[in-house]
Amino acid sequence: MTDTTIAATSPVAPDRVPMTAWRRVRAILGGSAGNLVEWYDWFAYAAFSIYFAKIFFPKGDQTAQLMQTAAIFAVGFGARPVGAWLMGLYADRKGRKAALTLAVGLMCAGSLIIALCPGHATIGDAAPVILLLARLLQGLSVGGEYGASATYMSEMAGKKRRGFWSSFQYVTLIMGQLVAALVLVILQNTLDKSDLAAWGWRVPFFIGAALAVVVFWIRTGIEESVSHRNVAQHDPISSRQVASVTTLLLLTVAAMVVGFTAWSFAGAAQGVSVVLLIMTYVALAAPLVSRHPKQTLAIIGLSAAGSLAFYAYTTYMLKFLTNTTGFDKATAGAVNLATLFGFMLLQPLFGWLSDRLGRKIMLVFAFGVGALIAWPVFTLTAKAASPLIAFALIMTALVVQSGYTSISAVVKAELFPTHVRALGVALPYALGNAAFGGTAEYVALWFKREGMESGFYLYVSAIMAVGLVVALLLRDTGKHSLILED
């Protein structure tokens, strides 16, 4: 069945109640509020891992400990495609609102588990196992959140300002990271280093759990999108696919547990888990690729490049400024906070520009210029003599990256018909994000450990170039959107 046929068979009768400006704003705020909490919890792990790495992984030097926590960070990304698949199917059948509410509840549980989990000195190898399971739960949540949030906000945004309104999906995403960084700076300046390393790192996870409860209540009051209410059919779910995915997932989790606890078999077990995870991804993606091949592959390519650059200049940059540039942790945190704030403010501007100039030109700018400047930005930041210089360099990269991030949600949503939109947005994004965004920090630290850190700069440029090729081949989704309702 082709995409054209599917779209044609879905009724698109307009909502009888006009979408007023206040209804639209309330929907956007409700859809984005949980997004803030989701990403706050997610980035709190990355921001505070420099303090709790030795709590869960006491062996080795600081780089080795950070690599272990980065590996579990990547595991959380690995769970995202599974969450995207589950929540995508759920959102396309039960509604965007139901999926958004469930996603924030799962994130609350994962954050609370991390906050309460004892360290390795208390419960031994059970500590990293519990951390692993909590991150898997958070990965399922974020995987589902992105697709449901991007789809809901794009459907509720309206045709004329869809780029502008949907850009708030990344505003809240960045705001979540910004709040996590702000909490880091506050705790660094109010607690002794010993207290922060001993128990202070647990505070942000308690905060995240409390915020999630508030957002859960907010999301129960948002309205369902007209696009979803107009859907008359769904693609069938294969029981065979469900069985194969479940089996592969159980085997993958078992291999991961062995990899993080049985040190003598760690390398082999982690290798097996990667193979099993790839097999799981193939099982998840096969039906979507067979029905919507061009859209699915395009989103994977854009997400791979965009996610790698995003995490390289935000999450990993916090560690880069301490391990490579030589700033102390407090200074690195302050620089990271300032760049994130500027980055957040840019999103509505670039979203607005996409409504006037087109989506395609924004993507070509982001990936084309991004591929050219990755090497000089990292090279000069590594030698930055002051925090101000580092800020200017990182901010330059983030201005360019805004050409993608501001329209990341709407470009993907405009590619798919309503009945499969949440799954179509979530799963390909999660696959590209897991493969390249989730491994960004681990790959960067590997290059550093091997004494060839500049190899990571070239890696970022190369993947950005792939994103450029996809952008050049892609039609302007703003002019050929499959979101038919206003």
Encode pLDDT of 357-391 as tens digits: 999 999 999 999 999 999 999 999 999 999 999 99
**Residue 272 structure tokens:** 């097996």
Residues 6+ positions from 233 with CB-CB distance below 8 Å: 9, 10, 419
Mean pLDDT (the chain) is: 85
pLDDT in tens, 391-450: 999 999 999 999 999 999 999 999 998 888 889 999 999 999 888 987 898 899 899 989
Q: What is the pLDDT of residue 17?
A: 58
Local confidence band at 4 (pLDDT 50, 70, 90 cut-offs) = very low
Average pLDDT for 336-346? 93
Confidence check: pLDDT of 2 > 70:
no
Q: How far apart are CA 320 and CA 445, in angstroms?
A: 9
Confidence check: pLDDT of 85 > 80:
yes
Local confidence band at 273 (pLDDT 50, 70, 90 cut-offs) = confident
Instruction: Please report, to the nearest 10 degrees, the dihedral formed by the alpha carbons of residues 440, 441, 447, 449 taken in order.
Output: -160
Whether the model pTM is above 0.75? yes
Q: How far is CA 223 from CA 155, 158, 392, in A?
A: 12, 15, 42
Share of the chain above pLDDT 70, in %: 91
Residue 259 CB coordination number (10 Å): 23
Q: What is the pLDDT of residue 35?
A: 80
Q: What is the pLDDT of residue 289?
A: 92
Average pLDDT for 217-245? 77
Residues in the chain: 486
Q: Compare 173 and 310 and report the one with higher pLDDT.
A: 310
Local confidence band at 292 (pLDDT 50, 70, 90 cut-offs) = very high
Q: What is the pLDDT of residue 260?
A: 66
pLDDT in tens, 442-485: 899 899 989 999 999 999 999 999 999 999 999 998 888 778 76
Confidence check: pLDDT of 9 > 60:
no
Local confidence band at 146 (pLDDT 50, 70, 90 cut-offs) = confident
376-381 contacts at long range (C-beta below 8 A, 24 or more positions apart): 377/313, 378/320, 378/454, 378/456, 378/457, 378/460, 379/454, 379/457, 381/317, 381/320, 381/321, 381/325
Identity of residue 103: A
Average pLDDT for 294-320? 93
